[in-house]
Structure formats: C-alpha cells, structure tokens
Amino acid sequence: IFRHVMCRNELYPRSNIARYPVPDEFVFWSVPFADYSPPSYTAPHIGGQIWADPPLPSESFNPKWNHNNGQVNRQSFHGNYEIVGGCFPLNPMGRTGIRGRGLLGRWGPNHAADPIVTRWKRDEKDQKIQHPKTGKNILQMVAIQRSDNKLWAIPGGMVDPGENVSVTLKREFTEEALNFTDKSNMVEKFFQNGVHVYSGYVDDFRNTDNAWMETSALNFHDEDGTEVGRLELMAGDDATNVRWTDLDGQQLKLHANHADIVRDVVIKRNAHW
C-alpha cells in the first residue's frame, strides 16, 4: 500500500513551521492518533491571488466539494473525500502533520498535469543505445530542475481555471522546457498524441491535511527522434535547468513520486530500467 512520505516530518517549505511528526503507522486516518495536534498554516502571499480560494470557514465561499464545476475541478481521482469540521476537505492519503493550505491555492485537490516527453538514447550514428546490463534500449525524458526544491522533475504545472488538461500539458512543457523558443507548430502536433500514464495523488512536499496535489500524467514519445527529440531545450518560468535524462531505476531521483510515475512509461515501452 502507498504511504505518502515527502509531505511528512519536515519543515513546511518556505516557512519555519515544523510539521507534527507522523510515524508510518499513524499515516492513515483510520488509525487513531490521540496526540495528533498539527499546526495550521496558510502561506500569507496566497491571499487574494486569482488562483487561490478564499480562507475557510467562510460565509460566502461554499464550493461544491467532490464536484467539477468546469472552472475548478474539486473531484479527486481517489473517490469522494471527507469534509471535516464543517468545511475542511480531508487529505485522502492521510496525515501530513499540518493543517490549512500551506502554499497550495485550493482547498482539497489541486489539479496539475505532467507531460512525460521521451525519446530513445542514440549514438553519433543515430543508432539506439542498449544498456550493457539489460540489453534493452534506454529511454530519455525531458526533466527540469525545480527552482523551489532544486529537484529534477517532470515539467508539470497546475491546471488553470477552466483549462483543459491537454492544454496544460503542452503549455507547461513550452514554458518550463522550451521557454517559448519553438516557433513552429511541430510541438502543437506532437502533443496531440499522448498516452495516458497516471491519474492520481502526488506525494508533493506542499501537501497538507486539507490541500493536496493530484495530477494527470501523459507520455508523449518521439519514436525516431525527429520531432521534439531534436529541439533545443531551454529552461523557463519556475525551472532553473532542463535536460534529457536517461531513465534508469538505479540512478533516477526525482521530485515527489515522479520516478514511480515515470517507471510505468519505461515498462510500457519495454525499455531499460
């Protein structure tokens, strides 16, 4: 069974708030934890942002939890979440050691999209390279280095209000990995052929008991390396670096649970891991 890790037992990012320690055996809400008294924290700078909800409780802000109203999808990929204390959505994966929204804009699920852009690793003669141990072809993925935690990650981002996930995937890739440098419509075409990989919870370091990340991850694969595979990458927006990264189970360390998500692509494409 899955237990979140990255959103427990640390200082909350960009704050000096310590999460209440949650041992493994007390993660799930179904296990009583009488002493549990997490601090409440909502980052001050998210107040009034258009991408953020108002504070709770509120007289005027009564969203339909567990619904998609077209502008904001408040449905979880993991079924209906509970509302506690009259108005607070409850993290379906369990305790995080902190209440409130932290850095996240939405109460409940915060929907993101993650484009996993891949090509085969090739030599100077353009031949696919096999890994000496497994004899399998090596997949490469476009990874960005996040400016917030310096970790390498899929170049994903939040779904804007009313935005279709397919648009978010392409937009975030263009912003973070291309810095808007591609002026052709090749990328546009390339992003029409996505293969669904994962929909669900992200073990993100910003998650709280009342707000958490969920994502839709799709794989966009350049089989012969003639499309996005040969584009010049350039980091932009909240990415400080970008590169083609070999996908190798022994070496790969990524933000949140991105490595687990990426592994599914590797298995589907029968590549080295």
The DSSP element (H or E) to which 242 belongs, if any, is: strand 239-246
Instruction: Examine residue 117 and tell whether it contacts ligand RP5 (CB under 6 A).
Output: no
Fill in the per-residue mask, 49 to 88: x = in contact with Mg ion (CB under 5 A), - = not in contact.
----------------------------------------
Instruction: Examine residue 112 and tell whether it contacts ligand RP5 (CB under 6 A).
Output: yes
**Beta carbons within 8 Å of 53's beta carbon, 6+ residues apart:** 61, 63, 101, 105, 106, 107
Cβ atoms within 10 Å, residue 57: 11
Would you say 208 and 226 are in contact if contact means Cβ atoms under 8 Å apart?
Answer: no
Report, in Å, the least distance between residue 33 CB and ligand RP5: 25
From the list 202, 242, 262, 266, which residue makes contact with ligand RP5 (rule: CB under 6 A)?
202
Instruction: Examine residue 204 and tell whether it contacts ligand RP5 (CB under 6 A).
Output: yes
Coil, strand or helix at 184:
coil
Residue written as token pair 């369990």: 94
Residue written as token pair 């891991």: 273
What number of chain residues touch ligand RP5 (CB under 6 A)? 12
Q: Which two tokens stand for residue 256?
A: 């949140």
From the list 89, 156, 194, 236, which residue makes contact with ligand RP5 (rule: CB under 6 A)?
156
Instruction: Examine residue 53 and tell whether it contacts ligand RP5 (CB under 6 A).
Output: no
Report, in Å, the least distance between residue 238 CB and ligand RP5: 6
Strand partners, 145: 152, 241
Instruction: Examine residue 213 and tell whether it contacts ligand RP5 (CB under 6 A).
Output: yes
Instruction: Examine residue 157 and tell whether it contacts Mg ion (CB under 5 A).
Output: yes
Would you say 141 and 117 are in contact if contact means Cβ atoms under 8 Å apart?
Answer: yes
Q: Could you list the residues that contact ligand RP5 (CB under 6 A)?
A: 112, 114, 153-154, 156-158, 202, 204, 213, 215, 256
